[in-house]
Amino acid sequence: MSTVEEYVEELTPGQREQFERVRAIVRRLVPDAEETISYRIPTFKHRGKYLIYFAAFQNHMSVYPTVGAVEATPGTKGTFRFTEDKPVPQDVVVDIVTHRLAQIDRRR
């Protein structure tokens, strides 16, 4: 897959709904965020630096990175896992993105 839209086309309807939730939150916080594929999954970038990744798997979905932004899901290294039945909370996505924005702005 070379584009975010190609990735999204492969998602189940429930996964697509969750991706669109994450996308809407990121867009609200960073309207000019660039969408791209990195490590074969969608990522949102700001000023060339990643903000948050989204990945869908058979039994769960994940957002990355969470190190330093929010507590990772137990048993993972810097990942917040969720399902269609237990979606990623909006505040987790907001915390990840605002944490990364602060890091990116500090490095300017």
Number of structural domains in the chain: 1
What confidence tier does 84 reach under pLDDT thresholds 50, 70, 90?
Answer: very high
CA distance 75 to 18: 22
35: exposed, middle or buried (C-beta count within 10 Å: 0-12, 13-18, 19+)?
middle
Q: What is the pTM of this model?
A: 0.88
What confidence tier does 90 reach under pLDDT thresholds 50, 70, 90?
Answer: very high
Task: Render pLDDT for 20-47 as a digit per residue (tens, 0 to 9).
Answer: 999 999 999 999 999 999 999 999 999 9
Which pLDDT score, from 0 to 100, does residue 108 have?
Answer: 61
Task: Render pLDDT for 46-61 as a digit per residue (tens, 0 to 9).
Answer: 999 999 999 999 999 9
pLDDT at 68 > cutoff 70: no
Q: Residue 26: give the domain boundaries.
A: 4-106
**CATH classification of the domain holding 71:** 3.90.1150.200
User: Quick check: helix, strand or coil at residue 18?
Assistant: helix
